[in-house]
Chains A and B, each alone.
Chain A
Amino acid sequence: MALKPAEFKTDVHNDWCPGCGDFGIVNAIQMALADMGVQRDKTAIFSGIGCSGKTSHYINTYGVHTLHGRVLTFAQGAKIANPEMTIVAVGGDGDGLGIGAGHFVAAGRRNVNMTYIIFDNGVYGLTKGQASPTLKLGEKTKSLPSPNTNSNVNPIGLAIASGFTFVARGYSYDIRHLKDLIVQAVKHPGLSFLDVLQPCPTYNDLNTRDWYAGADLMDEAQKRHSRIYKLEETGYEPTVHYDSEIEINEKLSQALIKSLEWGNKIPIGVFYKNENTTPYTKRLQDKIPNYLENPPAKQNVSKNGHSNTDISKILDSLEV
């Protein structure tokens, strides 16, 4: 019987700051897991280091809280060894796009069938508000002694360029929409990426909940205009249907162009989706015929405490 979202909660005390955007993301993940009817013991949440890294402790599935920037490496290893697991990796923008950027790019090329969610707050939360890789050049959040001297990385653009086959953005205060995105991402047959805009009320006083809601953007009638809008409501079509090079390039280009939109209008929703790229576990299956049916984690390696692997043919070839 499918579990309710509450059954994906642990009783671990949550120590995030009041009003932190992370709460919405955890709720959305729990709702999505319930929605999909996944089994708790066939699911694992891997997390990096940072405020967001604690997520795995708050979700009642297998939870692996790893190292700063390294979450994708652990998660991919687990999925390759046991492809029947549903695996969601989460972490901060500093975690995934700063120290972990190399793994981010490499993961895109591999396309392991799992989901990666970045909690994008523009700051390093747990180390007290230093600039993260998504903070724009010249911006000064409140704990920075001087304006940011680095340009920002564009997570959506980077994911598209790296080969992620499902690329979307969510907003942590639109939990239902975010939940739907997570469901789509997890069901996607390949590596899916979600950049989730996550206000950090403690350190990021620029990209606040009010700012996203457009509190500063009034029209003549004194009506607020939310910065955030949904791609699917504009007729934007992210999906590659025919798997032709022309179509893929078309969809990639429009997604890249969309990824540049920022400021008064910020799109959320699915930017790009291509179900035709072979997932990594299938690539392994193509060269190791029974890999999926007998993956590393399922192989029996001994009989009565002795090796059951027959290496005699290889030894024969070495024999003189």
Chain B
Amino acid sequence: MSSVDFTWLIGGPQGSGVESGANIFSRVCAEMGYQIFGKREFYSNIKGEHSYFTVRIADKKIHSNVDDVNLMASFDAETIFRHYDEVVSGGGIIYDSDLDGIKTDAVHTLDAPFKERLHKELESKNKPFTIAGVLEIAKEKGVKLFPVSFKSILLTLSEETENPRLKGLIRMYNVIGVSLSLGLVKMPTDSLQKTIDNIFSNKPEIAKINQQTANYSYNYAAAKFENFDYTLPGTQKEPGTLLVQGFQGTALGKMACGCRLQPYYPITPASDESVFLESNEILEINGDRPGSTAVIQTEDEICAMGMTIGGALTGTRSATCTSGPGFALMTEMLGWAGINEVPIVITNYQRSGPSTGLPTRHGQDDLLFAVFAGHGDFPKIVYASGEIEESFYDTGNCFNYADTFQVPVIHLMDKFHASSVITCKRFDTEKISIDRGLLLDKVEDGYRRFEFTEDGISPRSRLGIDNGIFWDTGDESDETGHITEDPILRVKMMDKRMSRLELISKRIPNEEQAVSFGIEDYTIISWGSTIGPVKDALDMLKKEGISIGLIQLKLMHPFPADYVSSLLKDAKTIIDVEANHSGQLGKIFKQNISRDVDYFILKYSGRAMTSTEVYDALKKIVQNKAEKREVLMHGA
């Protein structure tokens, strides 16, 4: 069996259907049994700026993108200018032949620094500053060009279907691009039809036009294009395969593990999760009447956090979802939740900072901020999911940790997760256990909310139950929750709360704190979404006989110092891979383990890491040619 590893790229102005085009393409490929890893890149803009989607397709499980593009479907000039050089020799570019003469200067969304680099390249190769110019370079490299006049396709189609509206419907360009691509790689056509029917199932009129356009374009490619090196005939589909987007993992996890209140304030890339939760607000409950998630859009993140805490005080599993700038606003209340021992979950989809930084781009910039968030000392948990599939189960764990240890939990996700699309095994709710800790339903007389106990965890009442009256305050308090400034009691209370950190380290199973994928002389430490590219890079190296170890950190705070140092005792060289400027994991690693990281592989261009570039950097390290800090740059 030949192995398939194929990357398709579609690009166009924001709002032109790039995302839905990619959605159709991904679904069709997933329908045909392929594994998918897709990722969207876009500007902080609603309409007009460049947006693109890469979909990697393989016949085995993949965890990341690669640098190379095998086929690019473009229907605008900018996509060609920006991505022509990513297409490999033997790969192909489907493009709108009407654009041949377009000059770089005519594309107003090409920003100056990019244009400067492009002009330099064209000049050095003695090519005109036009589409034809860049395509010539591609052709000389061995890329096959597939010119099509998108306008005339619509025109012929409109005549054939006797639908005069069609000829002006440039909205159909994305479907044309997708279908030409599928025709070119000889994807069985019935899966395309099925997918379109599926996507437009409640809009039969639109389904019909899309169907006609798809068929026509598919056949056009098959008839007019010369043979292409790559074919995707389909493979064995594994039953129970999901095609999910990043934010759906945590959202479904929240539904399944009993989160019933999610106040939020809109912020990219976090809001998609809340919108998805609200779209599915009514929940089916086994053997009981329907339940629901109250999703509340608030006036700001401060209110979202306040409502989340207020909800948690009633015993409700409550969460909010945000990104860096929003999380920054929540930190005062984080301390309040800490001192009052309120279990809540904050899902933080990080993006590139500081400030609003690159609002729609990738970055793992908030690790240190999350670990140190809040004034004063108080116990909290910072937990990071690596891959989307994990995030479903991790969400359940985060709520259990919050409840059993009565602490706020910050669940770190990021933009790479949020805008990736993957195939994975169907989520298994059976595996979600629910542990509400010492949450009381009934309370005896003489209740004290913050009672000193042996393990430092006090039975927890909730607003509204008989005899369960308690007082909360952001000030230091006694066992009943009333304000105290007594120095002895203060020390006792502080010790009680902070002892929770040790308990957390002790009670959370090792394998939920950090995952070892093998320890070698060279061993990587990494966390969050970069785990995917690292895993794939390690696979590539293994094929060449190079074995590198990997530890994935999940419990970021309290840091699993003993466990991680015991794992690493035989590793000679430690490599930290993460997506920020300062090597934040390396910093807390050093702080907790007193061991230096030998190499950093970092990326902070705002673009997601690819396995190719991680592979390249690792190779340099083993060949002893690397700098201490290898900075990755791939991506437009």
Contact = CB atoms under 8 A, between A and B. Distances in A.
Interface residues of A, number: 67
Contacts of A309: 255-258, 283-286, 291, 429
Q: Give the secondary structure class of A's interface.
A: mixed
B464 A82 contact: yes
B306 A70 contact: yes
A74 B302 CA distance: 10
B59 interface: no
Contact of B396 (A41, A296, A307, A314): A307
B316 A82 contact: yes
B261 A66 contact: no
B149 interface: no
Interface in A261-315: 284, 287-291, 293-297, 299-303, 305-315
Interface of A: 10, 12, 40-42, 44, 46, 49, 54, 56-57, 60-67, 70, 72-82, 84-85, 102-103, 105-106, 284, 287-291, 293-297, 299-303, 305-315, 318-320
Contacts of B309: 74, 77
Contacts, number: 249
B463 A78 contact: yes
A287 B283 CA distance: 13
A291 B436 CA distance: 22
B317 to A, nearest CB: 6
A103 B435 CA distance: 34
B280 interface: yes
Point out which of A57, A61, A300, A314 has the most chain B C-beta atoms below 10 A from its C-beta: A314
B464 A42 contact: yes
Contact of A103 (B299, B396, B470): B299
A287 B427 CA distance: 28
Interface of B: 27, 30-31, 237, 240-244, 248, 252, 255-258, 260-261, 263, 280-294, 296, 298-300, 302-303, 305-311, 313-318, 332-333, 336, 396, 423, 426-427, 429-430, 432-436, 462-475, 481-483
Contact of A318 (B244, B283, B435): B244
Contacts of A42: 464
Point out which of B280, B462, B463, B473 has the most chain A C-beta atoms below 10 A from its C-beta: B463
Contacts of A312: 429
A113 to B, nearest CB: 14
Contact of A310 (B244, B285, B307, B336): B285
Report the 5 A-B pairs with minimum CB-CB distance, sorted nearest first.
A77-B310, A73-B306, A301-B258, A77-B307, A106-B299
B433 to A, nearest CB: 5
B298 A319 contact: no
Contact of A306 (B292, B311, B434, B436): B434
Contacts of B430: 306-307
Given A41-B464, A290-B292, A77 B311 contact: yes
A290 B292 CA distance: 8
Contact of B288 (A66, A75, A296, A308): A308
Nearest to A46: B310
A105 B299 CA distance: 9
A12 to B, nearest CB: 5
Point out which of A10, A41, A305 has the most chain B C-beta atoms below 10 A from its C-beta: A41
Contacts of B284: 309-311, 313
Given A77-B306, A306-B432, A315 B427 contact: yes
A44 to B, nearest CB: 5
A21 B333 CA distance: 29
B303 A73 contact: yes
A318 B27 CA distance: 10
Given A41-B469, A309-B283, A294 B291 contact: yes
Contacts of B283: 309-311
A303 B292 CA distance: 17
B243 A318 contact: yes
Contacts of A64: 310, 313, 471-473
A74 B426 CA distance: 37
